[in-house]
Amino acid sequence: MTTTINPQRREAPDPGRSPQTGAVTVTQYSRRSIVAIWAAAALPMGALSWIVAPAIADGSGIESLIRPLLACLTGGLIWQFVLVMALVGYEQRSLRWSRLREALWLWAPRSPRSGRAGGRTWLIVIPLILLAGIEELIGLPAPINRNFGEFLSSDAGKAMFDGSWGLFALFMTMAVFNTVLGEELLFRGLLLPRMRGAFGDRDWLANGLLFAVYHVHVPWVIPASLLDPFIYALPAKRHQSALLSIAVHSAQSVVIGLLVLTLVV
C-alpha cells in the first residue's frame, strides 16, 4: 500500500525535527556524544569477542569457540537494543510505538522525488542487497578459527548443527538483534537522525564510517565495510527510513539462517 507524505516537505529536515510529521522532536547529538554511543556499542562487542568468548571456550579451535562466541555476541547485540531504548525513552519520555516509530525512522522509505512512501519505493532494496552481497565477496577472509562459513561446510559444523534446534535458536536470536533490533536500530534508527547537527550534510558519511570501524569484533570486514555509507547510511537518509537499511542488512541473515536451517533439519 502506498501512502503520500507531504510533498512540500524538504528532503533534508531541520536538525531536531522528525522528518516525516514533525510531531516528534529529536535531540541533535554532539560529536563527543556520538563517539561515546559508538564506543558503548563497539567496545563491549570487541571485549566479548576477543576476551570473554575465548576465556569460556574449552579450546582454541572454532568448534569449541562457536557456542560461546554466538552467545557473547548475542548478548552484546541485545545490549545495543537496550541502549537504544534507554536513550530514546529518556529523550521522548515515552516508549510508545507512535513515538518510537518517528524517533527511530521506523516507517516505509519515501521517494525523494515524488514524496510517496512505500509501494514501488521498496524496489530500491534490490540493488542495495546486490551491493551488500558484493561487499561480502570482496571482504578479507576471516581467521580459520573464526570462519563461520567454512565451519558450516565442514563435517564438524554439520555434525554440531545437526538436529540442534537450541543452537539454531541462538543463531537466529543473534541474527535478529544484529540486523533488526541491534546494529541497524542503533546506527540508522538512533544515530543517523541525530547526527546532522554535528556533521551537517555529511552526517550519512560519518554514520557509515562509524559503522564500518564499529566492527572491532570482526576486524577483517572493516576494509570492505567502507562501502557501508553508500549501502546503508545514504539510502536511509535519502529515503528517511531505517526500515530500508534494516531490510537490506537483514538479507544476509535470511540467507545464512536458511543455510543453518538446512543443517539442523
Q: Give the model's pLDDT for residue 159.
A: 82
Amino acid code (one letter) for 229: P
Q: To 5 degrees, how large is the angle CA 132–CA 176–CA 131? A: 5
DSSP E strand stretches across 208-248: none
Domain extent, residue 85, equals: 26-110+121-264
Residue 14 lies in a domain: no
User: Of 98, 125, 97, which Cα lies nearest the Cα of 109?
Assistant: 125
Q: In the chain, what is the greatest distance between 2 CA atoms, to the nearest angstrom? A: 61
Could you count the other beta carbons within 10 Å of the beta carbon of residue 173?
A: 16
Asked if 195 and 209 count as a contact pair (C-beta separation under 8 A), the reply is no
C-alpha cell at 158: 554439520
Residue 10 lies in a domain: no
Domain count, the chain: 1
Which pTM does this prediction carry? 0.83
Residue 3 lies in a domain: no
Residues 21 and 17: their CA atoms lie apart, in Å, by 9
Q: Give the model's pLDDT for residue 60.
A: 61
Residue 19 lies in a domain: no
Residue 30 lies in a domain: yes
Q: Give the model's pLDDT for residue 260.
A: 83
Residues 32 and 69: their CA atoms lie apart, in Å, by 30
Grouped pLDDT means (10 residues each) for the chain, 265 residues: 32 47 77 96 95 83 82 94 95 89 90 79 90 82 78 79 85 89 94 94 94 92 88 92 92 85 81
Q: Give the model's pLDDT for residue 237.
A: 93
Residues 6+ apart with CB under 8 A from 109: 117, 118, 121, 122, 124, 235, 239, 240, 241, 243, 244
At residue 117, what are phi and psi to the nearest 5 degrees? -110, 140
Q: Give the model's pLDDT for residue 7.
A: 29
Asked if 242 and 189 count as a contact pair (C-beta separation under 8 A), the reply is yes
Residue 11 lies in a domain: no
Q: To 5 degrees, how large is the angle CA 131–CA 145–CA 264? A: 75
Residue 244 lies in a domain: yes
Q: Give the model's pLDDT for residue 23.
A: 67
Provide, for the chain, the percentages of residues in helix, strand and coil under a 3-state DSSP scheme, each rounded to the nearest 5.
70, 5, 25
Long-range contacts of 35-44 (CB under 8 A, 24+ apart): 37/83, 37/87, 37/186, 37/190, 37/191, 38/191, 38/210, 38/214, 40/83, 41/79, 41/80, 41/83, 41/183, 41/186, 41/214, 42/213, 42/214, 42/215, 42/216, 42/217, 43/216, 44/76, 44/79
Residue 129 lies in a domain: yes
Grid cell 521506523 in the structure block, residue: 106
Q: Give the model's pLDDT for residue 13.
A: 46
